[in-house]
Chain A
């Protein structure tokens, strides 16, 4: 795969410069757009591989940009928001964003997010040809039709809910899923008590996945936001 093309949508010049400089230093190709309108046009005309999208744009709401792009494309979108705007982040994720970055962010953080997204891209591409009924991620293997999950070849003893959760996360590997999204998919509703149950199930599921002496972290917790399965 070629070095991916990244579209940076950010109205603040210093931050745009910072991101561009960082991307240049690591040999990524990049495009920039200072407004939402331009972002949508650039996405349509240049078809970038990943979009970094600032939520506070001057001309239109970041959520609208996501919705417009999502109407025709599945390009991974990483939103950038200021601290203390959890609601915006969750709304963006629910609108179809894949991940988020919080200002102020470090360069390492930016690249960590980018790497996760690119791995996911490559997995999506490679998966398209192979058998979709079997999912593998590191030592984790899920056999969807059989309803079984294996870690290091041993079958995991999961409750039905835990299995459903695992499948949901696996099918969205690399994507941050909000609490609301998960509870909606598992229980069909999102009551306070369901979110509490989700927390408990997640902890038990993670314990089962990370029981080996040298555990690999498959599921990331994003406090106040949701969970994500990582491609290891």
Chain B
């Protein structure tokens, strides 16, 4: 399973490398859908593109006939056989879902079957195809001739079904306005106004009802009822549905038609207004999400922000399952709407299991989906290009998410996945860059030290060889010189090894620290015991601050810094020079200065002094140059402790290295 996924991933990546094209094909349960898939697969091959098949699963999927379901399964399998990655999203607004997915996954071509292509009435909504073309301006849309109109009819039915349900409130409004119209008509009748006025009043009533109520059914019903009411109250004989004058039949017909048209138009106008308001709202939500996501710095932030946005949008509890370090699904993190807190006990008990399932299968699950239907929440994978970044669960308490809501949800989750992907790409790039840098560092280090180790080793082994063979012939003076040389060389090597050991602790550009609280003065005193043995040829002055200052540090490394700085001064100044070590406390840092009155450092060298492998020209040292590790090491040690190291000129000559570390306040236990 995992293997096949891997190979699939690889294949899709390879294809990606060949061209940036992504083809999205829409699935349906229609028998002719295979023709569409076939065309898409052919196109994918021709363009060397990745092929994704999408199926938008409506809420009433369960009511589909078994035949439909079987055909859909067949089509899905057919798509998979043709190398497509199959995605199922849940939602009723089919075009919106498809467009949203296409946008977030970066599909360049959308392939759909032609479905019920023509508008039948001037008030009918646009077709699926038209909506997709309208809403996905960036993608090329290909329409493949397809004999059935399956998807469209379903969606049409659903849209109607959702809006048609009468409500108590709307019924009351309808009754009220019909009564008002009748009352007004009766009033007009008393004043002997012409019937035309009364008809206008009724049409006005229908218009108002159409504007106020949601379902178009009220508009139709109130048109009919208006005509009946007019007949009952205002035509002779009154209070009956009969009429004497045949011309009234025409009046009734015209009245019915005009009120129907007025009502429908008003309804449609209102629907458009609502649509555009929603579009505006959705654009705003997505824009906000986008803005917030751009500020996010880590994957956790991204998921959290998205969850917050979903929470704000839907006013429902959201649970997120981010990935752990090990790329497994982590613990659930709840982002709850305050007033729903008491309901948290009603959460799905097996939410971890469902989330895990969603994570593995990269498919939605939970209420109103095909899987884990009994769950109270709906679980979405945060998925892009076969890589899953986590799972978001929205608590619905068994309610159906509105079409609009689920489409915005898809958008936000898509945005979230996009943001996560770009973060991951950035992290991967950075890792690669660090690896390259480490590799460079290592090879530089090896090149540099192999030369520098060889020199003293040659001297030591040559001298020891001399001693072994010619010991008797050598006079005391020469012997002493040889012993001193051996001793010096080993000292030098020991020092080098110390620095190398410290450097080996730099991993990924960061130093691994064994932190503990230490008294700064103790560490400096410790360091003073390990400085170059040539120290007695210089005047070393120690003036330490008397306060007990503790800093959290790796004592060995900080001692190494002091040793390196003092040795540096000893090596680079003339015999008899003055080297002063002092410390001062300026809240919240302790500053340690190492000053000398040697020749100082030339301005041209200063910018490079802390670079690794930089060895300046020095005239005082007795021939052996350093490796150029000491100061670079000091800098990385001090900086990894949250401090810094600087170099200034000393007056009148010489230089002064200062490093500072943050001091930690301590409460003392008596």
Residue numbers of A with Cβ under 8 A of B are 83-84, 86, 104, 159-161, 187, 192-197, 199-204, 221, 223-224
Contacts and interface: CB of A to CB of B under 8 A. Distances in A.
A42 B518 CA distance: 40
Interface size class of B (residues with CB under 8 A): 20 to 34
Interface stretch (B251-259, B344-352, B661-669): B661-669
A204 B548 contact: yes
A196 B666 contact: yes
Classify the secondary structure of A's interface with B: helix
B590 to A, nearest CB: 14
Contact of B669 (A197, A204, A221): A197
A151 B555 CA distance: 32
17 contacts: A84-B501, A84-B556, A104-B490, A160-B670, A193-B666, A194-B669, A195-B516, A196-B664, A197-B668, A200-B519, A200-B668, A203-B519, A221-B519, A221-B525, A223-B523, A223-B555, A223-B559
Nearest to A82: B501
A83 B526 contact: no
A100 B669 CA distance: 30
B517 interface: yes
A221 B522 contact: yes
B75 to A, nearest CB: 64
Contact of B548 (A159, A161, A199): A199
Contacts of A192: 517
B550 interface: yes
A187 B670 CA distance: 9
B555 A199 contact: no
B119 interface: no
Contacts of A197: 666-669
Candidate in A194, A196, A200 with the most chain B CB atoms within 10 angstroms: A196
Contacts of B517: 192, 195-196, 199
Candidate in B501, B514, B669 with the most chain A CB atoms within 10 angstroms: B669
Contacts, number: 62
Candidate in B490, B523, B666 with the most chain A CB atoms within 10 angstroms: B666
B670 A159 contact: yes
B501 A193 contact: no
A86 B514 contact: yes
Interface of B: 490, 494, 498, 501, 514, 516-519, 521-523, 525-526, 548, 550, 555-556, 559, 664, 666-670
B669 A83 contact: no
A160 B664 CA distance: 25
Contacts of A159: 670
A223 B559 CA distance: 9
A6 to B, nearest CB: 24
A197 B668 CA distance: 5
Contact of A224 (B548, B556, B664): B556
Given A194-B669, A221-B519, 5 more contacts: A195-B517, A196-B668, A199-B518, A200-B519, A223-B555
Contacts of A199: 517-519, 522, 548, 550, 666
A200 B666 contact: yes
A116 B518 CA distance: 25
Contacts of B521: 203
Nearest to A187: B669
Contacts of A201: 668
A221 B555 CA distance: 12
B551 to A, nearest CB: 11
Contact of A200 (B514, B523, B550, B559): B550
A203 B501 CA distance: 30
Contacts of A104: 490, 494
Contacts of A86: 514, 556
A39 B221 CA distance: 107
A224 B669 contact: no
B494 A221 contact: no
B403 to A, nearest CB: 57
B542 to A, nearest CB: 14
A193 B526 CA distance: 23
A199 B559 CA distance: 17
Given A86-B556, A224-B556, A200 B526 contact: no
Contacts of B498: 83
A192 B516 CA distance: 8
A199 to B, nearest CB: 5
A121 to B, nearest CB: 25
A160 B668 CA distance: 14
A196 B550 contact: yes
Contacts of B516: 195, 224
Contacts of B668: 196-197, 200-201
Contacts of B555: 223-224
Contacts of A84: 501, 556
Nearest to B523: A223
Contacts of B556: 84, 86, 223-224
Nearest to A186: B669
A171 B8 CA distance: 72
B668 to A, nearest CB: 5
A23 to B, nearest CB: 20
Nearest to B515: A192
Given A221-B525, A224-B516, A200 B670 contact: no
| Closest 4 pairs between A and B when the two form their complex, measured CB to CB | A196-B666, A223-B526, A197-B669, A203-B548
B84 to A, nearest CB: 57
A91 to B, nearest CB: 15
A171 to B, nearest CB: 22
A201 B550 CA distance: 12
Nearest to B493: A104
Contact of B667 (A161, A193, A202, A203): A193
Contact of A161 (B501, B525, B670): B670
Nearest to B666: A196
A193 B667 CA distance: 8
Nearest to B548: A203
Given A84-B501, A196-B517, A199-B548, A221 B666 contact: no
B548 to A, nearest CB: 4
Contacts of B667: 193, 197
B533 to A, nearest CB: 10
Nearest to A221: B522
Contacts of A187: 669
A199 B548 CA distance: 9
Contacts of B526: 221, 223
A194 B666 CA distance: 10
